[in-house]
Chain A
Amino acid sequence: MSGTQRNERLTPLTPAVFHVLLALADGDLHGYAIMQAVERVTAPAIKMGPGTIYGSLQRMEEAGLVEDRGPAEDGRRRLYGMTQRGRSALEAESARLARLSDMVREKGLVPREI
């Protein structure tokens, strides 16, 4: 209960944070892979550079949403993974977005069948 409350307080997430979490939902990734994944999903809306990615990762790490999972295969990069708290935040944000999207549909603002 208290965990939900805390996660509720984290939403709404910024688009950058949401997409990074979304990218990590399938497994641990290094910075460049996250960048590519975000771009694939949102292209061309969000283009992140290294500075933004690592800045976001650091802040998310401080907030307990992601964690450093050690070196990647090439030994130069590091892998980042989603924590339980991160997953809860992603789920809470997704639920919020789903609620929003339902509301938008109910008002007939978008066609029901896409």
Chain B
Amino acid sequence: MKRTRFSISLFVYRMLLVLYPRQFRLRFSEQMQEDFRDLLAANDGSSHLRSRLDAWQRVVGDVAKSLVHERWGRNRGHPSRGKAPVRRSLNPFSTGTVLQDVGYALRMWRKSPGFVAIAALTIALGIGATTTIFSIANSLLIRTPPGVRNPDGLVTVFKARQAGSEPGMFSYPTFRDLNEFDTGLSDFGAFSLFTGSISTGIETEPQRVAGLIVSGNYFRILGTRPSLGRFFAPEEDVSANTHPVAVLSFRQWQRRFGGDSAIVGTAVNINRTSFTVIGVAEEGFQGHVTGYDFGVWVPMAMGEAVSGLRLDSRRQSEVAGIGRMAPSATVNQVAAAFAVATERQREQHADEFENVSLVVSPYRGMIEFARKPVTLFVILLFSIAGIVLLIACVNVAGMLLSRGSARAREIAVRLAVGSGRVRVIRQLMTESVMLFLLGGGLGIGLTMWATTALTNLRTPLPVPMFVEFSPDARVLAFTVVVALLTGVVFGLAPALQTTKTDLVSTLKDDSGNSGHRRSKLRSSFVVLQVTGSVVLLVVAGVFLHALSKADSVDLGFNPENVHVYSVDVSLHNYSGEESRAFFRTMHDRVRALPGVESAAIAWVLPLGFDYVGTAFQVPGSRSDGNEEYLSAALNAVTPEYFQALRIDFVTGRNFDAGDRSGAHRVAIVNETAAASLWPGQDPVGKFLDEGDVSYEVIGVVRDAKCRTVGELPRPTVYWPRSQRAAASGSLVIRTDAGRESIAREVAEIARGLDPHLPAQANAPYEQVIGLSLLPNRAAAAAAAAFGILGIVLASVGLYGVLSYSVSLRVREIGIRIALGADSGAVRRAVLGHGLKLVALGLGAGLPLALGAALLVRSMLYGLSPADPITFGSIVVLFLCVGLIASYMPARRATQTDPIVALRCE
């Protein structure tokens, strides 16, 4: 009765038995099911459920153990063969066996150095690519900047509107107030960024420098040590402007002062104020923010001298906090304490804390708001490198498989004389893992070369940046893990396949079923390889295509023959009047130079370094009295700006001499602003309010790109510089073509006005725009480099694998032809097979590539990710490679004399 009843347990067990080798199953499955029934029914007083659980508990382990044993543990079907099955085997993981395997692998290497060289090089390219990107990720996102000790105990404090929004700074008086609260920090310090110039007394040419204005406890909080002299003493950070002392970075000391230890006690000029150098920070320390090349530190009390930071002003929100937690405190406790402090501050200083609170986050090297884009960028590069690695590995796996076929007899002999299959598999795996480790070692070499080049790469950025990309122990560990993992994963399939030989036929030199199985595995390698390469190439192609498009994209202005000179005079404590005078004189003198067609001063440069934006209200825009807001980019320009950049007027007039300071306020808007505020109406004569000030729109100009080449047109409002002069600014100078001496002439004029002022930029506009393309250029360059690498690897691999699988069929083809098959038909069949594999790979790869391209869409310049040219050329390319790779061996095979083919393989 019981035995005929359907039981789920029994059904599952029966399913498990299917996993056993066929022979074993045929012989024992019925008995095993009987036994299992008895086990289920065994009822020693325990409940039905309990006995069921007991039975399963016993059977699960048993199936797992015996399955491995029956499938891979011995040589099935040849009872006479193999080591004595009942004897205790040698410990397979003893040092002796491993060394034996290693020794054997080394002997095999000596026999085929060519194979080893090509395979190791292929792996080195894949692993090198991945490790390089990991090295970059490590330097930017994982590693704490050198010289910062116990980073886990550090927190940063910023001001933000809500959690997650862009962090901002607070005022120095607030920092002092916060120090009065018990916040769970053992030490709480402040820092503020500044840029400017540094020079020694003798030197005439000042150098640009980025530095930090810090509270006296800054170095103590970070745990940084001086390599020379000392850091700030408490009394040096108390009263404003009394102790002009500075600490230099090691790099600054080496580069600017030749590592002269007499530097301590000497004077340097920082932003026109003389400071005494009291110490040099330890080697490698560039400040606590990843990426910045801070060269100098001055105490908060000297902030006013270098950047106008006043210790008593609550209106200047220019400092951020960094603190070390008390040993017992957690980040959450500190955050809660700061929340309480914020509320107290809000009661007393409502202005500074309107809609904002203090945000406490665990310290990370990368500045908070840069973290997300950098992470995305790194992930993108990492994925591309990962595909290169995949292609390289599949290539090598294919090579191992082919080599396995060549060694089939050797392996068959080893199996026949009694090696266990596990033992042979382990031997093969040892060989492949060693090969991948060798490749990994070479890959680390490539990474070192690439990261050194990257570290030394100098780009003209507005703020000095420096990142040490060189690999450390973590990168090394990563490489080893990748090499081991890929070695095991990509060595396993060929090893399993190679040892799955039909001994008798292999020894008799007869290509049997195993060849067929192997060719199936090889075919899947071809498909996988094509898939990976397609994704890689499409992404690379889309990037490259997008980049070439970017050069022809309509910027809305014409940077050709325009020279740019930028300077931030506020760094040198120019007053508003001094700054206006400086720019006016600069402008007039430059304008008078021969060959200058037009010149203008602009607050910000389109696609330059800065962006200024604000929200305007539009009076009378809504009948219910709630006025509409317009978030717009801002610029303050002199009249010739539009002519110099060739930004055309759509309607209305340009600024003129009448739009003076104190006169009726006017503004020019771009088409997008006009269209979104006054659709279908004439914007000229309409008004925009910013706070209490009203501006009359006097003209409309065409849209121009503002922050990035890829952005959608954004509303922009222009003010006349005469009505709103800002301290910083740029000169845009349109010259006659080929006017190359302009940079020198402009620099001379600037030096004549102020010899201590370092220019932010003095270069052709096109070069400045190049900076805004830098992330995309870098990604495109990486994608292109990896793409070319990928296509070379993939083509070689595809050719190798396809031609090898055809060459295995030489004998079969010989027989067909001997039996009268038309050689053309045979050739077509072989070609068809190769192309089918390529088509399968394309079929799988193209949708994946489309997905990948969608992911990188935000980096593209208004292109649809399904760029037909890119996709089309890749399809054609792979079909060509597939065609050549199958045709050559097919031709060879059909030309072989059938007699020869039949006689020997």
- Contact of B58 with A47 in the complex, beta carbons under 8 Å: yes
B residues within 8 A CB of A12?
A: 87-88
Q: Mark B786-806, 1 if CB is under 8 A from A, else 0.
A: 000000000000000000000
CA distance A60 to B65 in the complex (A): 17
Q: A30 in the interface, Cβ–Cβ < 8 Å?
A: yes
CB distance B87 to A10 under 8 Å? yes
Evaluate whether A35 and B35 lie within 8 angstroms (CB atoms) in the complex, with A47-B58, A51-B66 already known. yes
Binds A, one of B26-34, B130-138, B164-172, B774-782: B26-34
The answer for the CA separation of A76 and B28 in the assembled complex, in Å, is 11
Mark the stretch among B78-86, B316-324, B355-363, B445-453 that contacts chain A.
B78-86
Determine the residue in chain A with the shortest Cβ distance to B74.
A59
In contact, B34 and A9 (Cβ under 8 angstroms)? no
CB distance from A44 to the nearest CB of B (A): 11
Within 8 Å by CB of B31, from A9, A54, A62, A63, lies A54
The distance from the CB of B10 to the nearest CB of chain A, in whole angstroms, is 12
Q: Are B86 and A63 in contact (CB under 8 A)?
A: yes
Closest to B60 in A: A49
The dominant DSSP class at the B interface is helix
What are the residues of chain A within 8 A of B80 when measuring CB–CB? 62
Complexed CA–CA distance, A6 and B24 (Å): 27
B36 within 8 A of partner (CB): yes
Known pairs A49-B59, A52-B62; A14 contacts B32 (CB<8 A) = no
Residues 1-39 of A, flagged 1 when their CB comes within 8 A of B and 0 if not, give 000000001101110010000000000001110010000
Q: Find out whether the CB atom of A78 lies under 8 angstroms from the CB atom of B31.
A: yes
Evaluate contact between A55 and B35: CB separation under 8 angstroms: no
Q: What number of A residues sit within 8 Å (CB to CB) of B?
A: 31
Q: Verify B61–A50 contact, CB threshold 8 A.
A: no
A58 CB–B CB distance under 8 Å: yes
Q: Nearest Cβ distance between residue A38 and chain B, in whole angstroms?
A: 13
> In whole angstroms, what is the CA distance A62 to B83 when docked?
11
Is B63 an interface residue, CB under 8 A from the partner? yes
Task: Categorize the interface residue count of chain B.
Answer: 20 to 34
CB-CB < 8 A to B58: which residues of A? Answer: 47, 49
Please report the C-alpha to C-alpha distance between residue A60 and residue B87 in the assembled complex, in whole angstroms: 10
Q: Provide the residues of chain A in CB contact with B32, threshold 8 Å.
A: 31, 50-51, 54
A82 is an interface residue with CB less than 8 A from chain B: no
- In-complex Cβ contact of A52 among B20, B36, B66 (8 A): B66
Inside 8 A of B35's CB, which chain A residues have their CB? 31-32, 35, 50, 53
Q: A50-B59, A51-B65, A51-B67 are in contact. Are A14 and B86 (CB under 8 A)?
A: yes
Contact of A76 among B20, B30, B62, B79 (CB under 8 A): B30
A60 touches which one: B20, B61, B69, B86 (CB < 8 A)? B86
Scan residues 590-622 of chain B and give those whose CB is less than 8 A from a CB of chain A.
Answer: none
Q: Is B70 an interface residue (CB 8 A)?
A: yes
In the complex the two chains form, what is the Cα distance from A49 to B63 in whole Å?
A: 8
Interface presence of B38 (CB below 8 A): yes
Is the CB of A92 closer than 8 A to any CB of chain B? no
The 0/1 profile, CB within 8 Å of B marked 1, for residues 72-100 of chain A is 00101110000000000100000000000
Contacts of B61 in A (CB 8 A): 49
B74 cross-chain contacts in A, Cβ below 8 A:
59
Cβ distance B835 to chain A, nearest Cβ, rounded Å: 46
A76 touches B66 (CB 8 A): no
Which residue of the partner chain A has the closest CB to B36?
A50
> Nearest Cβ in chain A — how far from B380, in angstroms?
48
Q: How far is the CA of A50 from the CA of B61 in the complex (A)?
A: 11
Q: Are B86 and A59 in contact (CB under 8 A)?
A: yes
- B63 and A30 form a contact (CB under 8 A): no
Chain B: CB-nearest residue to A76: B34
Residue from the list B30, B66, B86, B88 in contact with A49, Cβ < 8 A: B66
How far is it, in angstroms, between the C-alpha of A74 and the C-alpha of B86 when the chains are bound?
30
**Known contacts being A30-B31, A32-B38, is A55 close to B84, with CB within 8 Å?**
no
CB neighbours (8 Å) of A13 from chain B are 86-87
Contacts of A74 in B (CB 8 A): 34
Q: With A49-B62, A51-B66, A54-B28 in contact, do A63 and B85 touch (Cβ < 8 Å)?
A: yes
A32 to chain B minimum Cβ distance, whole angstroms, is: 4
> Quick one: given A54-B31, A77-B31, are A14 and B88 in contact (CB under 8 Å)?
yes
**Which of A10, A17, A50, A61 counts the most chain B CB atoms within 10 A?**
A50
B4 shortest CB reach to chain A, Å: 13
Q: Which residues of chain A have C-beta atoms less than 8 A from B67's C-beta? A: 51
Distance (Å) between the CB of B63 and the closest chain A CB?
Answer: 5
> In angstroms, how far is the closest chain A Cβ from the Cβ of B90?
13
A32 to B59, CA, bound (A): 13
CB distance from B356 to the nearest CB of A (A): 67
Expressed in whole angstroms, the minimum distance between the Cβ of B257 and any Cβ of chain A is 76
Give 12 new A-B contacts, CB below 8 A, not counting A50-B32, A51-B20, A51-B70.
A10-B87, A14-B86, A17-B86, A31-B31, A31-B32, A31-B35, A32-B38, A51-B65, A58-B24, A58-B28, A62-B79, A63-B84
A interface residues, Cβ below 8 angstroms from B: 9-10, 12-14, 17, 30-32, 35, 47-55, 58-63, 65, 74, 76-78, 89
A sample of 23 inter-chain contacts (CB < 8 A) reads: A10-B87, A12-B88, A13-B86, A14-B87, A49-B66, A50-B32, A50-B59, A51-B32, A51-B62, A51-B63, A51-B67, A52-B62, A52-B66, A54-B27, A54-B31, A54-B32, A54-B66, A58-B24, A58-B27, A59-B74, A61-B79, A62-B79, A62-B85
The 9 closest A-B pairs by CB, nearest first: A49-B62, A51-B66, A62-B79, A59-B85, A50-B32, A54-B28, A50-B35, A32-B35, A17-B86
